């Protein structure tokens, strides 16, 4: 792929047979994700590896709701699901961020409410006292 050519151009040593997926996840991770309901196709597995390797929160664009089902089935005790077309959605989002909960925002349209810009741009941080 292009990333390999870029590494060669920058004289960065690498193992040509290693894929990014192999670096981000092992077979046990993939087996667990499949057990949690993740589809077995390579793209879903690569996306799950990226989601699990993120330093901060990922933004999933999920028109087929496969990722949404997987996130819900992962069994997070602190999973808060919020739909932006429901009452008090902003309060629920704020509380989830404040409490460090896992947050799933559903039904976002293509034009995201500007009040969510700090969240989407990842400029929100949790204050620890």
Q: What is the pLDDT along the chain (129 residues), one digit of tens a residue?
A: 688 889 999 999 988 888 888 889 999 999 999 999 999 999 999 999 998 888 777 778 888 888 889 989 887 788 899 998 888 999 998 898 888 888 898 888 788 888 888 887 777 665 555
- 105, two tokens: 């925002």
Task: Report the pLDDT value the prediction gives residue 45, as an integer from 0 to 100.
Answer: 94
CA distance 25 to 44: 13
Give the global pTM. 0.70
Task: Report the pLDDT value the prediction gives residue 126, as an integer from 0 to 100.
Answer: 57
- 97, two tokens: 């961020």
CA distance 54 to 49: 9
At 83, which helix (H) or strand (E)? strand 79-83
- 69, two tokens: 């089902």
CB atoms within 10 A of CB 48: 25
CA distance 80 to 62: 18
Task: Report the pLDDT value the prediction gives residue 76, as an integer from 0 to 100.
Answer: 78
Task: Report the pLDDT value the prediction gives residue 34, as an integer from 0 to 100.
Answer: 95
Task: Report the pLDDT value the prediction gives residue 124, as an integer from 0 to 100.
Answer: 64
- CA 34 vs. chain centroid, Å, equals 16
Task: Report the pLDDT value the prediction gives residue 127, as an integer from 0 to 100.
Answer: 58
């Amino acid at each position: 792929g292009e990333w390999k050519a870029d590494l060669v151009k920058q004289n960065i040593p690498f193992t040509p047979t290693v894929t990014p997926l192999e670096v981000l996840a092992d077979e046990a991770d993939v087996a667990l994700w499949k057990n949690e309901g993740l589809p077995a196709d390579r793209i879903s597995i690569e996306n799950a590896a990226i989601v699990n390797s993120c330093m901060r929160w990922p933004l999933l664009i999920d028109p087929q709701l496969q990722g949404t089902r997987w996130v819900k089935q992962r069994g997070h005790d602190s999973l808060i699901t919020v739909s932006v077309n429901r009452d008090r959605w902003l309060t629920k989002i704020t509380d989830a961020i404040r409490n460090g909960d896992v947050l799933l925002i559903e039904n976002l349209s293509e034009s995201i409410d500007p009040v969510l810009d700090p969240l989407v741009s990842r400029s929100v941080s949790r204050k620890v006292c």
